Structure 1
């Protein structure tokens, strides 16, 4: 992969979409007590909290046995507590999750391997509820699912391979073209950026990883182009070139750029989950997961909510 030599530049650091203003951990506005009608997110949140409680119980069981993995387990458990708090937002304090585990979640004696499997199952259960959730909660579920997958990897599960980008199926009325065009533009920038990354890495495993990521972003770019074309619009073209967020001159700065690209894309895809109609949410959620795993592999700091910026404190009602 040779770095492009074009002279037209755009700010690569701006590929991250501006996050919507939020007043809660999941970007949702606190429920209006005067609003009429049932909260359709209520059963989704109950299922997500129940699955998370099963996880917390497994962590607690495993932490009763001293070992050298205790610091890691405590860190992952603390993040899981944050997940539960966010997922339970808006639930009445008298509401409690079902006493039986979510059907898709199995429980076995806790070991690092079974805990990793439970994290993976929890990730899948959150994705299964994407279509049933309103946009802000869908965004949160996709983010927590990505974090669950990252936890599974930290506990020793094999790193999941990127999922091939699906070809567009039946389009859905109301599919937001501006959001898709922004995601496509972000992938154009990522493809360019990885050309620079690969050119500054030695011919070793890191360069192999860069080639793999480069191909994955090309595939995702092509998938968005096909979907946009199916919707009757013209896909946004790649810019002539892109200004890097910092100079890339050696393997260290090259890996920093790769981490920056993937971290920026997690925000793009978390927002896209909320913007897309239900049938297309899994594609964006899968892209969020894949970018989260690649960002981790390149050394980016892990966060409890991939793709969701640290929230502002929730205003108190007066």
Structure 2
């Protein structure tokens, strides 16, 4: 028997390792005059970080206003505090005092949920202007905010981003590789959901699996169109893929679904950093959708969806 082909094994491995492939970003090779002179190097991301921290402080104040009557909010509040630390610019901003919330602090759980969702949407407005790694962090934190809103009971649909115009389609040399990686991951997810659906009872779970499969097929088609528009040949699906663990019953099937979605969040968080700025909202939207589906299938929550390791509390000087 011939050993499995590289492609057969590739993409489930990609779901484990794509982060290492896509997270690299280039830096300047010149000498920084401010750094050479002993001064603090200007951080072009600082205005974005300041806006993000201010929005986070408003969220923290909202949580603090409700914690006395809703102590169950403490884990979500702790995650928001982690977001603040990760978004903190190099010029440290002291945390706001919990005892002095803003006048508009929410007074009900639905109001807090709405604030989480609004804040998540506002973070995405800075994706194009941010550095690649800050864009990745903003997309992750925005996704966490949508998950918080969902946990708090807000099911308001998030508007889909507008597709990039033809003039902003990346050239093959500019960004074909990260989109090919995303396409390969979608091929594997589609195969995986075929296994998931076959092991689920014919009830709501199987319906949910079909819905997820259709979403991944749609995302696959979008990446194929984008790549074809660059003149690149989209990566084809393999005949089969090696599963990360045996799937013989319903619990294993739901665990596989959670695994697929969780690994795809890493692929898409890294794509936010690797993609040209006009395409970052599409990658962030894919990250959000995968994180919500992972949550639905019972994946362990994380403060930074798609980012395996907790980001540093301050940017590199």
TM-score of the two chains, using structure 2 as the length reference: 0.83
Q: Distance in 2 between matches of 1:109 and 1:162?
A: 23
Helix, strand or coil at the partner of 1:34:
helix
Counterpart of 1:278?
277
Equivalent of 1:59 in 63, 86, 100 = 63
Q: Distance in 1 between matches of 2:48 and 2:166?
A: 26
Q: 1:258 to 1:94 in 2, by over 3 A?
A: closer
Q: 1:162 to 1:291 in 2, by over 3 A?
A: farther
- How many equivalent pairs are there? 291
Structure 1 residue 216, shift from structure 2 partner: 0.2
Counterpart of 1:87?
87
**Which structure 2 residue ranges, 5 or more long, are not aligned?**
22-26, 97-101
Which deviates more, 208-217 or 158-167? Answer: 158-167
Provide Cα deviations, 1:102-148, integer angstroms capped at 9, x if missing partner: xxx99353211000000001101110100110000000000000000
Is 2:53 the counterpart of 1:49?
yes
Counterpart of 2:183?
184
**Which structure 1 residue ranges, 5 or more long, are not aligned?**
1-6, 22-27, 98-104
Listed as ranges, the matches of 1:1-318 within 5 Å are 9-10=8-9, 13-16=12-15, 17-20=17-20, 34=35, 38-65=42-69, 67=70, 70-71=71-72, 73-88=73-88, 90-93=89-92, 107-158=104-155, 160=157, 163=160, 166=163, 169-170=166-167, 171-173=169-171, 175-311=174-310
Q: Distance in 1 between matches of 2:138 and 2:128?
A: 11
Q: 1:165 to 1:262 in 2, by over 3 A?
A: farther
Decide which structure has greater helix share. Answer: 2
Q: Distance in 2 between matches of 1:164 and 1:129?
A: 13
Q: Distance in 1 between matches of 2:161 and 2:50?
A: 31
Q: Please say if residues 127 and 141 of structure 1, whose CA atoms lie closer than 8 Å, have aligned partners that are also in contact.
A: yes
Q: 1:229 to 1:219 in 2, by over 3 A?
A: same
Q: 1:159 to 1:117 in 2, by over 3 A?
A: closer
Q: 1:159 to 1:206 in 2, by over 3 A?
A: farther
Structure 1 residue 163, shift from structure 2 partner: 4.5
Provide Cα deviations, 1:241-262, integer angstroms capped at 9, x if missing partner: 1010011111110000000000
Provide Cα deviations, 1:85-104, integer angstroms capped at 9, x if missing partner: 0000x42126899xxxxxxx
Q: Please say if residues 18 and 181 of structure 2, whose CA atoms lie closer than 8 Å, have aligned partners that are also in contact.
A: no
Provide Cα deviations, 1:121-178, integer angstroms capped at 9, x if missing partner: 1101110100110000000000000000000000001164795994864314564111
Provide Cα deviations, 1:190-248, integer angstroms capped at 9, x if missing partner: 00000110111011110010000000000000000000000011000001110100111
